[in-house]
Structure 1
Amino acid sequence: MSPADTGASTTVGARLPASPDSPTDSRMAPGGPGYRRMSLALFLAGVATFALLYSTQALLPLISGEFGVAAGEASWTVAAATGGLALFVLPMSALSERYGRRTVMTASLAVAVAVGVLVPFAPSIGALVVLRAVQGAALAGLPASATAYLAEEVRPRALVTAIGLFVAGNSVGGMSGRVITGWVAQEWGWRVAVGVIGALAVACAVAFRLLLPAPRHFTPGSLRPRVLLGTVRDHLANPLLRRLYAIGALFMTVFGGVYTVIGYRLTEQPFGLPQGVVGSIFLVYLVGTVSASTAGRLVGRLGRRGALYLAGGTTAAGLLLSLGDRLALVLLGLVLITAGFFAGHAVASSAVSRTATTGRAQASALYQSAYYVGSSAGSTVGALAFHSGGWAGTVGVGLLAVLGVVGITLCGTRAARVAARREPVPAH
C-alpha cells in the first residue's frame, strides 16, 4: 500500500522515520517543540498574502469612480494579482525545491511588500493593474512553499489541522484587508487605504521571518527543467490530483466572483451602504477562519468526499439566500458561502499534500495555480455577469461552479467504489 493510501506523507530525500507519528518521529506535532511558533508564523504569512492579494477588492467602486471605468475593468486590479500568482506559483515552487521553503517564502513577502509601497501612487488604471500583477507574481512563492513546508515538517495526523490554520490566516488577512480599507478609504480615499495594508504586511513579514523554525527535513532538489516537467507530468497523470485541482479552481471561482461584485451590489439600491459599512461586511471572513481550522475534524467524521459534499451544499445554499432583497438574507448568504468555501479549500489543499508522495511542492503549486486561475476567472466573469444580469447573473455563475464541484466529487466517489471492488479478497 502506498503512502497516499495510508495517509502518510513522504518527500524524496527527506529524513523522515519509517513509521509516521511514532514516538521517534522528529517532525512537529501539536504541543511539541516549535509547533506553536510555526503555526503563528504561517498564520501571519497567510494574513499578509491575502491582505495584499485582495487589497483592492473592497475598493473597486472607488477605483471605478476615480479612473472612470466600469466594474469589469476595475476588477482587473484583482484578477491581475491572482493571475500573476497563478502563472508564477509553479516556477517559484521549483525555486523552493532548490533553495528551501523558508528562503523563498521570505523573499516573496519582501518583494510583494516593496511593490505594495508603490501601489498607492499608481497614476492610471493601467499602471495599477501592472503593479498588482507584479505583486501577485511575487506572492507566488508563499502558498505552495508553505504547504510543502508543512507536509515535510509536521506529522501526518496533524497536517490537515496545520494547513487549516494557514488557510485560516488567509481568511483573517482577506477580512482585515477589506475591513480596514473600507473604513480608511471612507475618510482618506483608496490610496491611503492600500498604503495601510502595505504597512500591515510589513509587520506580518518581519514577524513571520523571526518566528518560523528552520526546516529540519528539507533536502535540496534539482532545478533541471526536464526533472521539473517530469514531476508535473506525473502529478497531472494522477486522477485524484486532477480532481482536487479542478475542485480548488471551482470553489475559488465562486468566491472570487461573489466578493469582487458584492461591494457594487451593497453600495447600490436597495441597500445604498457607505464604503466603511461595506468594508465591515467582510468580517464574515471570521466564519471562514473557523471552518478552515476545523476542516480536519470534518474530514475525520465525514471523510474527504463527505466534507466536500457538505462544503459544496453549504456554498450553494448561501448563493441562493443572497438573492433576497433583505440585507439580513444577503449577510446570511455570505456567511454560508464563506464557510463552505474555506472548508472546501482546506480539505482539497490538504488532500493534495497527503496524496503527492514526491515533488510535493510542485503538487501544491499546481493546486495553487488552478485555485488562483479560478479566482481570476471568478473576478472577471462574475463582474461581467453582474454588468449584464445583475446579482442574479453572478449567483448563476457561482451555482454552475458548485455544480462542477459536486459532479467531480461524485466521479471520485464512483472511482473509489470501483477500485474497492477490484481489490483482491485476502486469503484466510
Structure 2
Amino acid sequence: MHQKRRSNAFPFVQVRTDSRWVTFPAAVPSRRSSEDSLSGVPRTGDQPLVEGLRHGQPSYHRASLALLFAGLASFNAMYCTQALMPELSTDLHASPAQSALTVSATTGILALAILPASILSERLGRGRVIVFSALAATIVGQLLAFAPSLGWLVAGRGLQGLLLSGVPATAMAWLAQEIHPKDLPRAMGLYVAGNSVGGLIGRLLPSGVLQFAGWRTALNVDMALALTFSIVLAVILPKERRFRPKALHLRSEIATMVRQWRDPRLAGLFGVGFIFMGVFVSLYNFLGYRLTGRFGMPPSLAGLVFLLYLFGTLASARGGRMAAQRGRGVAILVGTVLCVVGLPVAASGSLWMMLPGVAAFTYGFFTVHAVASGWVGALAPTSRGEASGMYLTCYYLGSSILGYLSGHVFHAAGWTALMMWLLGLVLVGCALAGIVARSARRLATA
C-alpha cells in the first residue's frame, strides 16, 4: 500500500488499493506539520503527536464500529421517505412532485451545508460534530411521523438534512485523522459499507412495515432504529487524540473553488455528478408509483425494488478497476452508455423488461459516480479537499433539484414521458463526460 498526503484546510489522503487510488478526506493536525510518514506519528514543532490507532487495539475496533453506526444512522435517515412516497401522496393528497420534496428537501439542504459543516468541524472537533449530527437528525426523525401536513413534513426533512450534513462532511476525515495510515483502508471500508447498508435499510424497512401499518408507523419504526444506531455511535466513539483546532482561511478557499470552476474538466465532472445523481434519484423516487399503479403491487412488495441497489456495490468496485486498466475516459463512457440503454428499456410496459432496464441504469450510474468522484481528486492535486467537497455539493444538489422537477414531469405526462425526460438529461451528462474525456486525452498527449 502506498500513501501520500497534502496539508490544507480540507486535507485529503490517497490510499492505493486494488490497483487504484482511492481519495479519502484526511486530517492534518497543523499547517506547520513537518512529518507525514507511515509511522502514523506526525510531528508538530518539537512535540510528536500520539500514534494513530492500529488494528488489534480495542480503541481501533471501537472507532471502526462507531463510524459504521454513523453510516447506518445517517444514510438510513437521509432516504427514509423515498419508499413511502406513494403512501404520502395518497394520505396527504399530494402530487408525486410534492411528495418528492420529502427527499429533495433533505438532500438539497445537506448539499448546501456540507462545506460549512466541514469548516465548523475544524474548530469544534470532528467527533463532536459527528455525534451531534447523528443524534440530532434522528431525534428530529422521531417527530416527523407526527407532522400534521406535507408542509410540516418537508420542513422537518429539510432540518434533518441540515443536521445530517455533519456526518458525510467529517466522518471520513475523522477516520483519517485517528487511524494509522496502514490500517485506514479497512476502517474506511467499514464506514462505506455502513453508508450502503444504511441507505438500503432506510428504504426496505419502511416499505416492509407498510404491510402491517401506515406510513407514520413505518417512519417511526425506521427512525427508532436510526436513533438506536446514533446512540451506539455516541457511546462507543473514542475521544479524539490527534485533533487540533485550525486557523481558517476562508478567502483562499473561496478563491480555490472559483479557480476549479474555471477548469473545464472539473466543471464538467461537477455537472456529471449533478445530472447523473439527479436522474438516479428521480428514477427511484417514482418507480414505486409505477409498480403500485401499473402493476398493482402492494407497497411492501414494491419496496423490494430497492434491492437493485446491490448492483451499484458491484459496479463501484468494477468501475474503479476498469478505470485503472482502461483509463477513466473509457470507464466513464461505458457507464454512460449503460445508462442510455437502461432508461428506454425501463420505459417498457412489461415488468420483466422494466426491471432489467432499471438494473442496467443502476449499474451504469454507480460506474459513472465511482470514476467521476475519483477523477475530480486526480485533476486537483493541490486542492483535492475543495474539489471533492464541490463535487459532493453538486451531487446532492442534483438529487434535490432534478428529483423535484422530475415529479412534475411524471405527474403531468406519466412514466414514459419521465423516462424520455431522464434520457435527455443523461445525454447531456454523456456530452459533458465526453468533453472531459477528450480534454484529458488531449492534455495527456500534448
> Could you say whether these structures have the same fold, taking a TM-score greater than 0.5 normalized by the shorter chain as the test?
yes
The unaligned stretches of length 5 or more in structure 1 are: 423-428
Distance 1:83 1:344 in 2: 21
Q: Which amino acid aligns with 1:97?
A: E
Q: Which amino acid aligns with 1:87?
A: L
Q: Is the 8 A contact 2:119 2:248 kept in 1?
A: yes
Q: Is the 8 A contact 1:167 1:292 kept in 2?
A: no
Once the two structures are overlaid, the 10-residue window that deviates more, 302-311 or 365-374, is 302-311
Q: Which amino acid aligns with 2:326?
A: L
Q: Is the 8 A contact 1:160 1:350 kept in 2?
A: no
Distance 2:90 2:438 in 1: 50
SS at match of 1:142: helix
SS at match of 2:245: coil
Pairwise CA distance, 1:254? 1.2
Pairwise CA distance, 1:8? 9.3
Pairwise CA distance, 1:307? 2.5
Pairwise CA distance, 1:397? 2.7
Once the two structures are overlaid, the 10-residue window that deviates more, 129-138 or 386-395, is 386-395
Q: Is the 8 A contact 2:84 2:206 kept in 1?
A: yes
Question: Of residues 55, 58, 78 in structure 1, which corresponds to 2:83?
Answer: 58
Quote the sequence identity (%): 39
Q: Which runs of structure 2 are paired with 1:102-117 in the superposition (5 Å)? A: 102-117=127-142
Distance 2:379 2:188 in 1: 14
Pairwise CA distance, 1:133? 0.6
Q: Is the 8 A contact 1:147 1:364 kept in 2?
A: no
SS at match of 1:121: coil
Does residue 98 of the first structure (1) align with residue 87 of the second (2)?
A: no
Cα deviation per residue 1:109-145 (whole Å; 9 max; x = unaligned)? 1211111011010011111111011001111122232
Pairwise CA distance, 1:416? 2.0
Question: Of residues 398, 408, 413 in structure 2, which corresponds to 1:389?
Answer: 413
Q: Which runs of structure 2 are paired with 1:23-42 in the superposition (5 Å)? A: 24=39, 40-42=65-67
Once the two structures are overlaid, the 10-residue window that deviates more, 44-53 or 381-390, is 44-53
Equivalent residue, structure 2, for 1:425? none
CA 1:96 to 1:220, structure 2 compared with 1: closer, same or farther past 3 Å?
same
Pairwise CA distance, 1:256? 1.2
More helix by share: 1
Distance 1:298 1:29 in 2: 33
TM-score of the aligned structures, taking structure 1 as reference length: 0.84
Q: Which amino acid aligns with 1:375?
A: S
Distance 2:191 2:60 in 1: 13
Q: Is the 8 A contact 1:99 1:220 kept in 2?
A: yes
Distance 1:302 1:36 in 2: 37
CA 1:367 to 1:51, structure 2 compared with 1: closer, same or farther past 3 Å?
same
Equivalent residue, structure 1, for 2:44? none
Does residue 340 of the first structure (1) align with residue 364 of the second (2)?
A: yes
Distance 1:330 1:260 in 2: 15
Q: Which amino acid aligns with 1:418?
A: R
Q: Is the 8 A contact 1:164 1:293 kept in 2?
A: no
SS at match of 1:63: helix
Distance 1:29 1:343 in 2: 32
Does residue 78 of the first structure (1) align with residue 119 of the second (2)?
A: no
TM-score of the aligned structures, taking structure 2 as reference length: 0.81
Does residue 229 of the first structure (1) align with residue 247 of the second (2)?
A: no
Q: When the two structures are aligned, how many residues end up with a matched partner?
A: 418
Distance 1:212 1:243 in 2: 38
RMSD of aligned Cα (Å): 3.5
Equivalent residue, structure 1, for 2:304? 280
CA 1:54 to 1:246, structure 2 compared with 1: closer, same or farther past 3 Å?
same
Once the two structures are overlaid, the 10-residue window that deviates more, 160-169 or 82-91, is 160-169
Equivalent residue, structure 1, for 2:428? 404
SS at match of 1:74: helix
Pairwise CA distance, 1:334? 2.2
The unaligned stretches of length 5 or more in structure 2 are: 7-12, 42-50
Q: Is the 8 A contact 1:116 1:198 kept in 2?
A: yes
More strand by share: 2
Equivalent residue, structure 2, for 1:329? 353
Q: Which amino acid aligns with 2:315?
A: S
